[in-house]
Chain A
Amino acid sequence: MLDLFMTIFFMIIKVIGITLILLLLPVPLTWLERKVAGHIQQRLGPMRVGWHGLLQPIADGIKLLTKEDNIPIYADKTLFKLAPIISLIPPFLVFVAVPFGEDVTLFGRKTGLYISDMNIGLLYIFAVAGLEVYGVILGGWASNSKYALLGGLRCCAQLISYEIPLGFSVMGVIMLTGSMSLLDIVEAQSQIWNVVYQPIGFFVFLVAGIAEAQRIPFDLAEAEGDLGSGYHTEYSGMRFAFFMLTEYIVMLTVSVLIVLLFFGGWNGPFLPPIVWFILKVGFFVYLFMWFRFTFPRYRYDQLMSIGWKVLLPLSLANILITGIFLA
């Protein structure tokens, strides 16, 4: 009885912990993004609020909280209110299946640094992450504005096109490991990282992952130049902050998945596993920001041709090559 109670207790603590981490992580990430943007353009970025502008995201949060929450007259009000929440929930659900490390001993009990080790973890992650598109397309539709609608449609088309190479690129890893559990996949990489065996798979996953996270050079859904800001043109205040939060959590998800699938997860010499994990994820998050302030945006037809004519054949060829080597 006590054992069951403790298990539930630990589970609740882990769920609350991960939720808090995911809700709070965008705060330093926005700061980091603005700093990287500034220094790449020979500026300083935020400097005035706190030490080197560290409290700037909190000031922004207060600003977003106190801003007018505007709903357009012709908007579909129920959907308009629902859309940010629908887009916010799937990225949180993804982290149910994401492990952060192996078992640790807490209060004389062994617990894993994960909520659930599913044997179909990867499948679950892709299934849930695909739901995010509903929030975006509902937000674009409910706003009843042409910019928002076009942004939503573009986003929908983009996410569907890139989900396919994303799924296929992971196939090679699954074939190598023979398991869909992320814990097994990481354990299989304790000697050599998967990126050595799967360079094409990694490349396809990285590019498709950037497209999934709606980052430059694939951020067509919120192209400031031609669409205002796409599906969240009409959103303001806290609802806009929800979309922002989603964007950062998805970026984090993609980084975490790249690290787990191709870069050995928490495996690494000398340093404790969790430090390795954070370092690797941090590097990929930085890489995304670096890309953002280096590359221009792709045109819509280019986006589609990259997805269907380059990434899809590449990922299929990757599966084929992996199969030949395994057989």
Chain B
Amino acid sequence: MYRENWLERLEKRYRWIGFTLLLDLIDGLSLTLSYLFSKTITMQYPDREKWIPYPRFRGHHFLRKFENGDTKCVACELCARICPCQCIKVVPYEDEKGNRRPLIYDVNTARCLFCGLCEDACPVEAIALGQHYEFSAYDSKKLLVGKDVLMKMPGKTEEGGKVVRARLVAGEKVFAEPQGKEGYHWWNRIRRR
């Protein structure tokens, strides 16, 4: 059987003193006061700050290129095959050297579930999911993205997982433009007792 030690018994017996002096309320108030003067963890996206994702982040698709600007894609259609929601459409053609190249490479990002299976399936590491995540649109037709757009999309981040200073650009496209590379991780700002 558990026996309380003398301190616990003392505490139990004289608990009413602290209760009368409202010590528990004062304890709560001091806790909230210490939180009042601690750093906030709010990320001020998109006005001042932006989250740069980790390299493993699966954002908007992009097509990798050779140095001469040609796409690495060989139009093998494995990505279209493995895609669980069938959002990739590839039409191949044969160029003058006799290579198999993509004539059409469409990704319907409205249907895509960003599983990254196309990236895994690709034998030449052409298609991949990058860092871009601000591509919402009012019209779902705008989410059907072609080969030219995919080749211009930003790739994966080299070092990510941080909040950097940013500026809101509200033009035809609305996004937060990162300013500088220095950043912090909001996780480190959480106050722990």
Q: Which residues of A contact B (CB under 8 A)?
A: 36, 38-44, 47-48, 290-291, 293-295
Contacts and interface: CB of A to CB of B under 8 A. Distances in A.
Contact of A40 (B35, B39, B189, B190): B35
A44 B40 contact: yes
Which of the listed residues B31, B39, B42 has the most CB atoms from chain A within 10 Å of its own CB?
B42
B29 interface: yes
Contacts of A290: 29, 32-33, 36
A291 B33 CA distance: 10
B180 interface: no
Contacts of A47: 42, 44, 47
Contacts of B36: 36, 39-40, 290
A291 B40 CA distance: 20
* CB-based closest 10 A-B pairs: A44-B42, A294-B32, A40-B32, A39-B36, A294-B28, A44-B40, A40-B36, A43-B42, A42-B41, A42-B40
A39 B40 contact: yes
Given A42-B35, A295-B25, A295-B28, 13 more contacts: A36-B36, A38-B40, A38-B42, A39-B36, A39-B37, A39-B40, A40-B32, A42-B38, A42-B41, A42-B191, A44-B40, A294-B29, A294-B32
- Interface of A: prevailing SS: loop
23 contacts: A38-B40, A38-B42, A39-B35, A39-B36, A39-B37, A40-B35, A40-B36, A41-B35, A42-B35, A42-B38, A42-B39, A42-B40, A42-B41, A42-B189, A42-B190, A42-B191, A43-B41, A290-B32, A291-B29, A293-B32, A294-B28, A295-B25, A295-B28
Nearest to B27: A294
Interface of B: 25, 28-29, 31-33, 35-42, 44, 47, 189-191
Nearest to A294: B32
A294 B191 CA distance: 17
Contacts of B39: 42
Contacts of A38: 40, 42
Contacts of A43: 40-42
A291 B29 CA distance: 7
A43 B42 CA distance: 5
A43 B190 CA distance: 11
Contacts of B38: 42
B136 to A, nearest CB: 19
Contacts of B191: 42
Contacts of B33: 290
Contacts of B29: 290-291, 294
A3 to B, nearest CB: 52
Contacts of B28: 294-295
B29 to A, nearest CB: 5
A217 to B, nearest CB: 9
A48 B29 CA distance: 29
Nearest to B30: A294
A293 B31 CA distance: 11
Which of the listed residues A41, A43, A293 has the most CB atoms from chain B within 10 Å of its own CB?
A41
Nearest to B39: A42
Contacts of B42: 38, 42-44, 47
Contacts of B40: 38-39, 42-44
A48 B47 CA distance: 8
Contacts of B25: 295
Contact of B44 (A39, A44, A293, A294): A44
A319 to B, nearest CB: 20
B43 to A, nearest CB: 10
Nearest to B35: A40
Nearest to A35: B36
A38 B189 CA distance: 15
Contacts of B35: 39-42
A47 B32 CA distance: 21
A3 B41 CA distance: 61
A294 B27 CA distance: 10
A43 B186 CA distance: 12
B115 to A, nearest CB: 33
